[in-house]
Amino acid sequence: MSETNTEGWSLEEIRKRESRTDWERLRQMSEGEIERAAREDPDSPLLDEEWFQTAKLVVPSGDKKRITIQLDEDIVAYFKRQGKGYQTRINDVLKAYVLAQQLKEQRDELGDPSADE
């Protein structure tokens, strides 16, 4: 495991820290100036309507089990190319498959003709 430079802070310690926000400058800005500054900030992309239409709520499960699994190299490379969180995306794909199979099984049990699609 690699070393990390993580430092823990209590809520009390956080509250005692001095804010680096220039609150007076912010109070003097108009809504338009604030929106323009936010649009120009490369570290803070605006969440537009399209983002909200494609956003997906992901609630992490606390019931994860650590395992060792061997996957084809091209599969791992594909997910890693998409950036940080590739293991979570692999888990999401597997979960979607399991849910689809469970739904199919339920339809089969009920005799649903659409289950054969």
Q: How high is the pLDDT of residue 75?
A: 94
CA–CA separation, 65 and 48 (whole Å): 36
**How far apart are alpha carbons 77 and 73 in whole angstroms?**
6
What per-residue confidence (pLDDT) applies to 89?
A: 92
Quick one: which of 58, 29, 35 has its CA closest to 47?
A: 35
Give me the helices (H) in 1-117, please.
Answer: 11-16, 23-28, 31-40, 49-54, 73-81, 86-110
Under DSSP, the state recorded for 55 is: -
Query: Can you give the pLDDT at residue 5?
Result: 66
Using an 8 Å Cβ cutoff, are 45 and 55 in contact? Answer: no
| pLDDT in the model for residue 112 | 61
Expressed as residue numbers, the domain containing 23 is 11-116
pTM summary value: 0.44
Q: For residue 110, what are the CA distances in angstroms to 11, 105, 113? A: 53, 9, 9
Instruction: Give CA–CA dist 28/34, Å, rounded.
Output: 10
Q: In the prediction, which pLDDT does 116 show? A: 55
pLDDT for 1 equals 47
1 inside domain? no
Classify residue 31: in a domain, yes or no.
Answer: yes
Each residue's pLDDT expressed in tens, for the chain with a length of 117 residues: 455 667 778 888 888 888 888 889 999 999 999 888 888 888 877 788 888 888 877 776 778 888 999 999 999 999 999 988 899 899 999 989 998 899 888 888 887 665 555
Give the count of domains, the chain.
Answer: 1
